Amino acid sequence: MTGYANLEEKDLSELKECEEKMNVVLLAVKKEPKVADLSAEALKTIQDVESKIGFKLVAYE
């Protein structure tokens, strides 16, 4: 599993400023994660959860 980046306060401030400027959400990770190769059934399950919670999900290996 990819670990979350341990950012210093100044780096967090930069990240937050960038998010606000571009109106996006950024996730800082130590290395680029590989998106999971899922079956159609698994994708449907994720889409069902997305519909219930109102958020988009990304599955990483």
Cα end-to-end span (Å), the chain: 7
Q: What are phi and psi of 21, to 5 degrees?
A: -65, -40
Cut 0.75: pTM above it: no
Q: 17-53: per-residue pLDDT in tens?
A: 999 999 988 888 777 788 899 999 999 999 999 999 9
